[in-house]
Amino acid sequence: MPEKYVRDKTELKGLSRGRWKESEELEVSVIKGKSRWAQDEDDSAASIAQRKREKEEQRRAKEDRLRQADAQQVHPSTPVDAPGANGDVARPSKRLRTHVDTHRPGDGHATEPQLLPFPARRFAACRDVDEYERLNEIEEGSYGLVSRAREKATGSVVALKKLKMDHANDGFPVTGLREIQTLMASRHAHIVRLREVVTGSTWKDIYLVMDFLEHDLKTLLEDMAEPFLPSEIKTLMLQIVSATQHLHSHWILHRDLKTSNLLMNNRGEIKLADFGMARYTSQPPPPKLTQLVVTLWYRSPELLLGTDTYGAEIDIWSLGCIFGELLTRDPMFQGKNEVDQLSRIFALLGPPTRENWPDFRSLPNAKALHPLLSSSSASKPQPQLNFPYLTTSGHRLLSSMLSLNPSSRPPHPRSWPTRTSQRRPRPKPKEFFPTFPSKAGQERRRRRETPNAPLRGEKVKLLGVEDFARESFGAGGGILAGREEAEERGSR
């Protein structure tokens, strides 16, 4: 049966009337109110012109709002009644009236407003996971179990992610709630679409139903014979950045950006996934955010130094790490632990100084670094990033994303995507991307040992001087050692 939305207000009134009869008069007065205005109108030419100007202004304000609303697109699991699609009277409950014509001020009457369907959605109980038939397991990550499945009714192939329900003492785990809430709120061309949430036999069996994508970037990079071309990397990065930008402009921090959480289909399209660490934030940021976010290799220096007030900059750092990884197919900073991670970062990018990061000393773990930094560092020249196939502007962008000081990282300049796409190399059109065999579960993947996203409830380690001393002096290289040394130590 086609869903009908409340469309006739008399229907509505009939339903909820009960004790409300007396108020019918009020409605009459509302309508009367209108006619009174009509009479009161001062029809002098000046006031008409004035009204027109006002109307024009209002219209522009409205168009702006619409553009905003537009950017948000339609809710994933929304059964939108396409007007006339099923031929019967069911029409969407609400219509958004909009002027799409570009109406210049002062040119007389506005054309008839055009009607666009309003994205009406309903709320409904979760369906059962039995609506789907499981095909194969894709991957066990740190928080969920993902499998490929087929919707029985439609035959469409989806990814089912089972939520882990570890912390039942406080009821539904807040991480799972946030994962669903933030993903549901994020409708974007480069964010994986959450179709619905379904339940299994007990209340602890909750599954996210997402569009299925053939690859994740991590597996793809491991299996590719050649790295992506610079033009391809540009296309990929533009998509990743646009997704992140969308999140940030909606006050969502992803907090676990890394190649395994970036999905890709065979049409060169990237979709950001795994919102298991995501949350809403605010300006100023909420106090006491957990530092245990972001997989170690993609974790920013301020997090490693123990900050608990942070913002979108931590995601930008991770983007920088992803950028570098796309260039070489190797994660940039493969630390064994927090201290090692920091020392690898400093080895490649130079240590923080009073000039480039004035307040880093006030961060909780910075004391431990003090003796090391005050001695040798200041005089050394800043090392330069060096990627053979990267243009100068590419280098500049990468090193700004990887600024030690979070406030030096580029926030999302709106013009960035257009500017970069005009420079050479031009981003490769998605359609011209090579396709790759999808490994998604059909055969067991070769897996490299990589760290997982931090677990909620894990102890936050406050780094001590000894940790740094051991790391820095134990292996002989010191915290400021060159990259080769750092890599050597890492491979043991």
Partner 1 sequence: MAPITEVEHLTNPLVTVEQLYSLQDDDRNHAENGQSVRYAQAVLTQAAGILLRLPQDVVATSLVLLQRFWVENLGQGHATADLKIASEASIYLSAKLSFTPVSPRSVCNVYAYLLSTSSSLPFIGCPPPSAATPPGPQSYYVSEGSYEREREKILLCESLILSSIGFDVHVALPHTLALTYVQALGVSSRKLVKRVLEHLNGGLLSPQLLYLTHQPNALAVAAIYLAAKEVGVKLVDGNWWEVFDVEREDLGFLVLAFGSFVGFAAAEKERWENEREKLRELLSGGG
Ligand X SMILES: Nc1ncnc2c1ncn2[C@@H]1O[C@H](COP(=O)(O)OP(=O)(O)O)[C@@H](O)[C@H]1O
- Does position 27 interact with partner 1 (CB under 8 A)? The reply is yes
Q: Is 219 helix (H, G, I), strand (E, B) or coil?
A: helix
- Does position 335 interact with ligand X (CB under 6 A)? The reply is no
- Cα separation, 12 vs 23, whole angstroms: 15
- Cα separation, 283 vs 118, whole angstroms: 31
Contact (Cβ atoms closer than 8 angstroms) between residue 463 and residue 306: yes
Among candidate residues 285, 230, 234, 276, the one with its CA nearest the CA of residue 255: 276
- Does position 300 interact with ligand X (CB under 6 A)? The reply is no
117 touches, from ligand X, Mg ion, partner 1, none (C-beta below 5 to 8 Å by class) = none
Among candidate residues 406, 411, 381, the one with its CA nearest the CA of residue 305: 406
Residue 326: Cβ-neighbour burial (10 angstroms; 0-12, 13-18, 19+): buried
Residue 278: Cβ-neighbour burial (10 angstroms; 0-12, 13-18, 19+): buried
Interactions with Mg ion, residue window 131-190 (CB under 5 A): 141
Least Å from the CB of residue 265 to partner 1: 25
- Cα separation, 183 vs 160, whole angstroms: 14
Interactions with partner 1, residue window 66-125 (CB under 8 A): 68-69, 72, 75, 77, 93-94, 96-97, 118-125
Of the candidate residues 120, 129, 149, 159, the single one contacting ligand X (CB under 6 A): 159
- Does position 285 interact with ligand X (CB under 6 A)? The reply is no
Candidate segments 63-71, 120-128, 139-147, 370-378, binder of ligand X by CB under 6 A: 139-147
Candidate segments 140-148, 368-376, 391-399, 420-428, binder of ligand X by CB under 6 A: 140-148
Q: Which two tokens stand for residue 76?
A: 């994933």
DSSP string covering 130-147, please? GGEEEEEEEEE-SSEEEE
Interactions with ligand X, residue window 166-195 (CB under 6 A): 192
- CA 3 to chain CA centroid, Å, is 32
44 touches, from partner 1, Mg ion, ligand X, none (C-beta below 5 to 8 Å by class) = none
Active site residue 256: yes
Nearer to Mg ion, 215 or 489 (CB): 215
- Cα separation, 340 vs 81, whole angstroms: 55
146 touches, from partner 1, ligand X, Mg ion, none (C-beta below 5 to 8 Å by class) = ligand X
Q: Which two tokens stand for residue 34?
A: 């209108």
Q: Residue of minimal CB distance from ligand X?
A: 141
Catalytic residue among 81, 216, 256, 340: 256
138 touches, from ligand X, Mg ion, partner 1, none (C-beta below 5 to 8 Å by class) = ligand X
Least Å from the CB of residue 478 to Mg ion: 34
How many residues belong to the site for Mg ion (CB under 5 A)?
A: 3
Catalytic residue positions, numbered: 256
List residues near ligand X by CB under 6 A.
Answer: 138-139, 141-144, 146, 159, 161, 192, 210-213, 216, 260-261, 263, 273-274, 276, 440
